[in-house]
Structure 1
Amino acid sequence: MNFPSARFQQHATRTAFFIPGFIIASWAPLVPFAKTRIGLDDGMLGVLLLCLGLGSIVAMPLSGILAARLGCRAVMLATAALMLLALPVLTVASTPVSLGLVLFVFGAAIGAMDCVMNIQAVAVERDADRPMMSGFHAFYSIGSLVGATCVTLLLTAGTSAFAATLAAVGIALALVVAVARAWRTDRAPQDAPSFALPRGIVIAIGIVCFVSFLTEGSMLDWSAVFLHEVRGVGLQHAGWGFVAFNLAMTLARLVGDAVIAKIGRATAVLAGGLIAGAGLLLATLVPVFGVALLGYALVGIGCANIVPVMFTLAGRQTAMPESVAIPAVTTMGYAGVLAGPALIGFLAQGWSLPAAFVLVAIALVAVAVLGRRLTRV
């Protein structure tokens, strides 16, 4: 089967990572607006964010099966269309039920895209025969940075939330049209298993990814709420915390392959978890806006290369076939970014939002230790 050039496929894979990062980050600055518009408390917001996570959890295993049967391109095109349709609707949903339904569809689209783009990335990295995973994941961060920055700037300039999302959809649609023909169409062998429950080291890898992505989801859905409601930052400026997180993560991932080659995977994971935990504590416990931004930046630096290392390990482990291990790890990991923020909401309702962030920081330290051990297996 003939494919576009290897270089074009690599660029198309980077774009595939950019698009869901861009779209979901475009939602981040809008969370406080939705919370205020519908009159939600922390607990109810957590329930609705759980709808987003449930959509993802349902869609990820199914998307892996479909990608094996239909190829990555068909699944990514369908999921891109769904996420671009859902984003503007999130700004006009006026009841908890309607917002929850749209979040479910939005989460399903984002989750499916996230799963299949990693399947594509593994194939493209293998063809290139050199480390590329941190670089691919960097473009998810770049997309998040661009999406959060663009929407925050538009909101700061007085643009309506609906108009801001239409601008985001236009950018993402242009990117899909430009690169979709270079997304993979090859399918898994007919005798390959299409689904399997994770086991052995794959479970441990998934746990590390879950906590790392839970942290990212906390920044996505709760950093603006924290800065506005706890620190008193204006709604129009509360999105800058997530921007600081993503800028730092983006820069760290762009140099991630070189750093990992120099200090080793074990040290990179251990140092990353400790730095992220310390940064989150700093942002949570020091009541200064500038210090909070610094703390969020440290969280981004620390979390940046943990997940790329884990995906590399998932491709190298022998407990499960790669064709089912990658979707399994992706499902466990991205469930953290989508379902994890709902847990933050429940903890915030029961105790407080700062207390919830402290618990996440503790989990990051535990992940640093576990991840270091996994890299030495």
Structure 2
Amino acid sequence: MPRESLQAGQQRLPGAIRATRLIFLVSGIGMASWAPMVPYVKARLGLDDAALGLVLLAFGGGSMLSMPLVGVLTHRYGNRRVISVAGLLLCVAIPVLAIVPDVLTLAVTLLYFGAMLGAVDVAMNAHAVEVERRDGRALMSGFHGLFSVGGLVGAALMSALLALGLPLLVGALAIALLLMLIVLGQRRSLLVRVGDVARQTVKFRLPRGLVLLLGVLCFVSFLAEGAMLDWSAVLLRDFHGFSAASAGIGYACFSVAMAGGRLVGDRAIVRLGTVWTVRVGAGVAAFGFLLASMANWPPASLTGFVLIGLGASNIVPLMFSAAGRLPGQPPAISIATVTALGYAGLLSGPALIGFMAHASSLPAALAVVAGMLLLVAASARIVRR
């Protein structure tokens, strides 16, 4: 590479790092902004819990269906194009969700919303792998930390706008405009293309080898996160004596701990190395599951949720980073495969836990999740740089 091109690339890298962080923030805000809208849409369309649960499957299904195709598109056209186009199309979905007139339109819009989020997810992680490779430092956990912060900000911002008495559509338009301005403002700072093989032909194929193993480990990690989202409040209410109004504090402890763990995760990786970060993190998360489910003292149970968030915080970022470095496979394709398998854990995991809880008890089912995390710890060498 000519010296001038190398110097130009080095000068652009800080801008690319900043842009990557902001795109992760956009993804987190966009996803979380939907949560405060759900009760409004449910009431307006007259949905019961069963109907709502069924239509919400379209959201996760859209993400999973789009990921393999987006991996190919990202490899072919570059991350910047996919992030820019999918990011702007994502912004369109948010206000549409506020005005959907019927259940069918809601399902189609959620499918579209999930597909755009999945597209941004794959492209931004592939872009993050390339930025991390060029910079030479561990950056992926920090990027994912901004996604977690975005999740907290998105839910809080939309809730605040609604609490001020603004109509749902106005709040959704405000969020969409904010995200659109960030995407347009950072577009030119994103790297044009990842790697030097963008013109090669890529075909769909079933995952195998290291890609499959990374995907399975991500499945377990996302399953653990899904367990927190769907079962933490039930655990605290039914087994630890919390009221229905206060049972959400468990997930709040988990979410804040995960965001904090990711924001300091890059420094932890420098100290411990990638393998031990995953090994220790999965072990801490497993212990957290046992403490949260088995401890009879409420503060100890909440400490377990904090440990789960801290322990699990850097596992998925390191898995994605490892997927992007696999030899003989374009980063976007590997990341798309691993992400799709991870989302399968997020979607199916809570149901699997429900079946196990029905056969035994919820604490016992969560103890099984702890055992699965110990298997992740035992397989930590796969993320070695």
TM-score by length of 2: 0.80
Q: Find the counterpart in structure 1 of residue 282 from structure 2.
A: 273
- Distance in 2 (alpha carbons) for counterparts of 1:182 and 1:220: 34
CA contact (8 A) 2:286 2:373 kept: no
CA contact (8 A) 1:280 1:358 kept: no
What is the one-letter code of the residue matched to 2:146? F
Judging changes above 3 Å, is the alpha-carbon distance between structure 1 residues 309 and 106 closer, same or farther for their aligned structure 2 residues? same
Identity %: 37
After TM superposition, the structure 1 stretch with the greater mean CA deviation from structure 2, 27-36 or 81-90, is 27-36
- Distance in 1 (alpha carbons) for counterparts of 2:170 and 2:367: 36
* Residues matched between the structures, number: 370
Judging changes above 3 Å, is the alpha-carbon distance between structure 1 residues 233 and 180 closer, same or farther for their aligned structure 2 residues? farther
After TM superposition, the structure 1 stretch with the greater mean CA deviation from structure 2, 301-310 or 156-165, is 156-165
- Distance in 1 (alpha carbons) for counterparts of 2:179 and 2:249: 22
Q: Find the counterpart in structure 1 of residue 262 from structure 2.
A: 253
Q: Find the counterpart in structure 2 of residue 375 from structure 1.
A: 381
* 1:78-227 correspondence to structure 2 within 5 Å: 78-93=85-100, 95-186=102-193, 188-191=197-200, 193=202, 195-219=204-228
Judging changes above 3 Å, is the alpha-carbon distance between structure 1 residues 99 and 275 closer, same or farther for their aligned structure 2 residues? farther
Q: Find the counterpart in structure 2 of residue 363 from structure 1.
A: 369
Query: How far off is 1:264 after superposition?
Result: 3.5
CA contact (8 A) 2:100 2:106 kept: yes
Query: How far off is 1:158 after superposition?
Result: 5.0
CA contact (8 A) 1:205 1:371 kept: no
Query: How far off is 1:326 after superposition?
Result: 2.5
- Distance in 1 (alpha carbons) for counterparts of 2:95 and 2:224: 25
Query: How far off is 1:171 after superposition?
Result: 2.2
CA contact (8 A) 1:283 1:295 kept: yes
User: What are structure 1's unaligned runs of at least 5 residues?
Assistant: none
Judging changes above 3 Å, is the alpha-carbon distance between structure 1 residues 366 and 113 closer, same or farther for their aligned structure 2 residues? same
Q: Find the counterpart in structure 1 of residue 306 from structure 2.
A: 297
Question: Cα RMSD between the aligned structures?
Answer: 3.6
Query: How far off is 1:10 after superposition?
Result: 0.6
Judging changes above 3 Å, is the alpha-carbon distance between structure 1 residues 191 and 85 closer, same or farther for their aligned structure 2 residues? closer
What is the one-letter code of the residue matched to 1:72? N
Select the residue among 315, 318, 339 that pairs with 1:330. Answer: 339
TM-score by length of 1: 0.82
What is the one-letter code of the residue matched to 1:39? L
Q: Deviations over 1:198-256 (max 9, x none)?
A: 2112111111112222333455567679889996545xx88765544332112111111
Does 2:32 correspond to 1:21?
no
- Distance in 2 (alpha carbons) for counterparts of 1:214 and 1:301: 16
Does 2:54 correspond to 1:58?
no
Q: Find the counterpart in structure 2 of residue 40 from structure 1.
A: 48
CA contact (8 A) 2:353 2:366 kept: no
After TM superposition, the structure 1 stretch with the greater mean CA deviation from structure 2, 158-167 or 168-177, is 158-167
User: What are structure 2's unaligned runs of at least 5 residues?
Assistant: none
Query: How far off is 1:39 after superposition?
Result: 3.0
CA contact (8 A) 1:225 1:238 kept: yes
Q: Deviations over 1:322-345 (max 9, x none)?
A: 4532222122223434x34xx535
Give 3-state SS (helix, strand or coil) of 1:130's partner: coil
Larger of the two Rg values belongs to structure: 2
